[in-house]
Amino acid sequence: MTEIAESGGELQRGIELFQLKQWNLALQEFLQVKFENLDTGETMELTYYLGLCYAKLEQYNDALLHLEKVITAGWNPLRTYQCRMTLAYIYVMTDRSKMAEFELARLVSGGFESAQLYTAMAYVAWDQGRLKKAVELYEKALKIDAESTTAMNGLGYILVDTGMDVSRGIRYCRQAVERNPRNAAYLDSLGWAYFKSGDPAEAGRWLRRALELAPREREIQNHMRTVAGEAT
C-alpha cells in the first residue's frame, strides 16, 4: 500500500513540475514511478507525460516511443489528439513533413477540429511549399479562433513574404505583435513585413527588438543582415 501511495505521489509531483515547465525535474519524478504499482489509467497518464517531457527536452526518439504507445492504446480521445499534435510537431522539427501531415490528417478524419490543428496543418503546407493551401488553412484557423496569434503571424508572414497581399499581411503581423509584444517570432515577422513593404528603417526597428529577445535565432539574424544591407 505504501509503494502504491508513493508511486501516485511521484506521478502527481511530476505533473505539477511539468505544469511549471520544469521539464527535467518532472522527468526525474516520472522515471521514479513504478509502473507495476499503477492502474491502467495511471499507467497511460504516466506514459503520456513521459512522452511530453521527452518532446520538450528534444529527446525525440524517446518521445515518439511513449506517445505512440498512448495512441495505440486508444485510452483517451483527448490524449490521442494531444499525442498526434505532438507527433506532428516532432516530425516537423525533424524534417519529416509528410509524416506530420499524416498525423494531422488522421485527426481531421477522426472529426477533430480546432484552430491549433488548422494552424499546424498550415505550417506543414507552408513547409512543403504549398502556399495557397497554407493561407487557406490559416484562414480556417482564424475563423475558429479570431484571437489565434499563431495563425495571425503565420498568415501575415506568408502574405508579405510571397507578395500575395503585403498590406493585409502587415495588418495580421501587427495584430499578433499587439497581442504578444515579447514574442520574438512575431516581432521578426513584422520587421520582415515592413522590409517587404519597402520600409527598411521601420523593419530594422522591429528586427532589433526580435534580436534582443532571441539573439541566437538564425532566421532573425538573416533577416537583420538583409535589412541592414539594404539600408546601407
Reported as a pLDDT band with limits 50, 70 and 90, residue 229 is: confident
Residues 123 and 138: their CA atoms lie apart, in Å, by: 8
Are 134 and 162 spatial neighbours (Cβ–Cβ below 8 Å)? Answer: no
Residues 204 and 223: their CA atoms lie apart, in Å, by: 9
Q: What confidence score (pLDDT) does residue 231 get?
A: 52
Res. 3: pLDDT tops 70: no
C-alpha cell, 196? 517587404
Residue 215 CA to chain centroid, in angstroms?
Answer: 20
Q: In a 3-state reduction of DSSP, which class is residue 180?
A: coil
Average confidence (pLDDT) over 65-73: 96
C-alpha cell, 171? 495588418
Nearest partner of 103 among 119, 117, 123, judged by Cα: 117
pLDDT digits 0-9 by tens, 117-149: 999 999 999 999 999 999 999 999 999 999 999
At 35, the amino acid letter reads: F
Question: Cα dihedral angle (104, 106, 111, 114), rounded to 10 degrees?
Answer: -10
Average confidence (pLDDT) over 44-72: 96
C-alpha cell, 3? 509503494
Reported as a pLDDT band with limits 50, 70 and 90, residue 9 is: confident
Q: Count Cα atoms within 13 angstroms, Cβ side, for 75.
A: 20
Average confidence (pLDDT) over 191-214: 96
Helix 115-127 vs helix 149-161: angle between axes, to the nearest 10 degrees?
30
Ramachandran class of 149: left when φ > 0, alpha when ψ lies in -120 to 50, beta otherwise: alpha
% of the chain beyond a pLDDT of 90: 88
Which residues, other chains included, contact 149 with Cβ-Cβ below 8 Å and sequence gap of 6+? 175, 176, 179, 180, 183, 186
Q: What confidence score (pLDDT) does residue 183 get?
A: 97
% of the chain beyond a pLDDT of 70: 95
Q: What confidence score (pLDDT) does residue 164 get?
A: 95
- Alpha-carbon distances of 102 from 94, 96, 107, rounded to whole Å: 15, 10, 9
Reported as a pLDDT band with limits 50, 70 and 90, residue 232 is: very low
Are 206 and 223 spatial neighbours (Cβ–Cβ below 8 Å)? Answer: no
Supply the DSSP string of 47-108, one letter for each residue.
Answer: HHHHHHHHHHTT-HHHHHHHHHHHHHHT--HHHHHHHHHHHHHHHHHTT-HHHHHHHHHHHH
The backbone torsions φ and ψ at residue 182, rounded to the nearest 5 degrees and listed phi first, read: -110, 20
Q: What confidence score (pLDDT) does residue 148 get?
A: 97
CB atoms inside a 10 Å sphere around CB 232: 6
Question: Cα dihedral angle (88, 89, 93, 98), rounded to 10 degrees?
Answer: 20
Domains and CATH numbers, the chain: 1-112 (1.25.40.10), 143-232 (1.25.40.10)
Res. 2: pLDDT tops 50: no
Average confidence (pLDDT) over 6-22: 86
pLDDT digits 0-9 by tens, 87-120: 999 999 999 999 999 999 999 998 889 999 999 9
Q: What confidence score (pLDDT) does residue 75 get?
A: 85
